[in-house]
Amino acid sequence: MKIEKLLSKLGKVLDSGEREEMKWFDVDTAPLTKDDYSKLESNFKEAGGFVKIINAGSSLNKDTKKEVQRVWLVSFKNQKDLDKWSQEFEEKKKKDHRYIGEQLDWFHVQEDILGPGLPLLHPKGMIIRNGLIDLIREVNAKLGAEEIWTPHISRCDLWKISGHYEHYKNKMFMWEQDGEEWGIKAMNCPMHFQVYRFKPKSYKDLPVRYAEFATVYRKEQSGELHGLSRVWSLTQDDHHFIINPDQIEGEVTKIIDAARKVYDLFGFEYKIKLATKPEDSMGDAKLWDVAQDGLKNALTKLGVEYSLNEGDGSFYGPKIDIYVKDNMARWWQLTTIQLDFFMPDNFKMVYTDEKGKQQMPVVIHFAILGSLERFMSIIIEQNAGRLPLWLAPVQLRVLPISEAQEEYAQGLVNEMRGLGVRAEMVTEGTLGKRIRNSEMEKVAVTAVVGDKEVQANSISVRGKETMTREDFKEKILLAIMDRSDF
């Protein structure tokens, strides 16, 4: 019955005449199994059609509010085209962070019930995210940035002062409640400025350096949404440094230096563009000069090459854009260091100078990773799911050859866990299968222990020679601490 229903629906979909295009249809049946997929495919083949079912899952019918099965498929005119497509699809899938994320139980996006562009992170995905946050927390400590926390929603009054209400409204989630307009934040700056304004500031207080790992919500076109890289809910490693113009060079030098150390960790190449004063700019001409000289001096001091985008800055200040290239030769705009002469004026942010006069500070907006979600998608795809040891959800998996070594293996796992290593033992299945699974599940280090290892108190690491337990312990801990290769 299930298959008949599907066949008739499928026939109608394919009669539309289009081929080689992914499409979906909803059908009112019980959930489909992989067995149903192949039955359906072979039934259709008998009738002279060539389809590949890519996926099926529960979905809510918008009109009837009833649960239906949504079937995704692609169709072809002949078997050869179908085979070629299937092969390419399988290869592509292996490098797609969406597939890797679901396959490894790291995260998923659930369009039905929840909504599009709103990824859910599972425990292992959260380990990756927290690893990135820890990294930036270390950067913040070096930069002297202090973390704050600001709420996700506010009155629209705030967005009216910042100008987002007027210029960014179509990308913000807003609603009316009890006669007032409210909005979910799409950026953090206006809230950070409230923290700055809370107490009067003097020149001695500057630089004020705020940082927040903040989830913001932006209503992108649903057709543009993609896994973790294009979402509605994104978490920025957001920073606002509030400084006097003389501090621009010093602060920006430190920020760029910190950013490039982060890129080095992931093997990214980078290029830097400096965008200068556009024709329709606001603010004092002298301030623009000081700011642009500050940025140029910072880049020169660091000895980094950069290109000049004359006139491409924002109307409210010059900026530095940093693009990184991953190992798949894809360029990503990761970091922007934006100077801002406009918001301090808008939000009436001031400080008292040495002479007791009120001055307006300059704001530096920047994020190093940009969006944690998008950054995760980049590093997941650049090595088909294999992450560096320090970031891998499972850092060490110990496989005893037989039951006889289980106690030794468990002892090793317990010891490593005690030292903060994400370690586990797997005993189910043949050794060959367990090794393959470990590879497939992107475990960073796989170790095998047999009688020989137990007797010698040693450990045999896949792809390396056997080492003593002490030696192994020291090496893996050092590598995790240094964020280096094992």
Q: Which residues bind Zn ion (CB under 5 A)?
A: 189, 365
Is residue 483 part of the annotated active site? The answer reads: no
To Zn ion, the closest distance from the beta carbon of 13 in angstroms equals 46
Looking from the CA of 100 toward its CB, the CA atoms found within 13 Å total 24
Is residue 226 part of the annotated active site? The answer reads: no
Is residue 201 part of the annotated active site? The answer reads: no
| Distance from C-alpha of 297 to C-alpha of 260, rounded to nearest angstrom | 17
Phi-psi category of residue 214: left, alpha or beta, with phi > 0 → left and psi -120 to 50 → alpha:
beta
Shorter beta-carbon distance to Zn ion: residue 189 or 396: 189
| Distance from C-alpha of 118 to C-alpha of 121, rounded to nearest angstrom | 10
To Zn ion, the closest distance from the beta carbon of 192 in angstroms equals 7
The answer for residues whose C-beta is within 8 angstroms of residue 401's C-beta and 6 or more apart is 431, 448, 449, 450, 451
**3-state SS of the chain: helix, strand, coil percent to 5?**
40, 30, 30
Shorter beta-carbon distance to Zn ion: residue 319 or 365: 365
| Distance from C-alpha of 438 to C-alpha of 309, rounded to nearest angstrom | 47
Candidate list 192, 209, 365, 442, residue with the active-site label: 365
Is residue 108 part of the annotated active site? The answer reads: no
CA distances from 466 to 114, 304, 471, 476 (A): 49, 43, 10, 14
Spell out the alpha helix ranges (H) of 95-152. 97-103, 123-143
**Beta 445-449 vs 396-400: how paired, if at all?**
parallel
| Distance from C-alpha of 393 to C-alpha of 355, rounded to nearest angstrom | 55
Shorter beta-carbon distance to Zn ion: residue 86 or 336: 336
Shorter beta-carbon distance to Zn ion: residue 361 or 385: 361
Candidate list 124, 129, 319, 442, residue with the active-site label: 319
To Zn ion, the closest distance from the beta carbon of 148 in angstroms equals 13
Candidate list 124, 185, 189, 239, residue with the active-site label: 189
Is residue 189 part of the annotated active site? The answer reads: yes
Candidate list 36, 96, 237, 238, residue with the active-site label: 238
Candidate list 218, 277, 422, 434, residue with the active-site label: 218
Question: What's the CA dihedral at 157, 162, 168, 174 to 10 degrees?
Answer: -20
To Zn ion, the closest distance from the beta carbon of 240 in angstroms equals 6
Is residue 365 part of the annotated active site? The answer reads: yes
Shorter beta-carbon distance to Zn ion: residue 237 or 453: 237
To Zn ion, the closest distance from the beta carbon of 238 in angstroms equals 6
The residues annotated with a catalytic role in the active site are 189, 218, 236, 238, 240, 319, 365
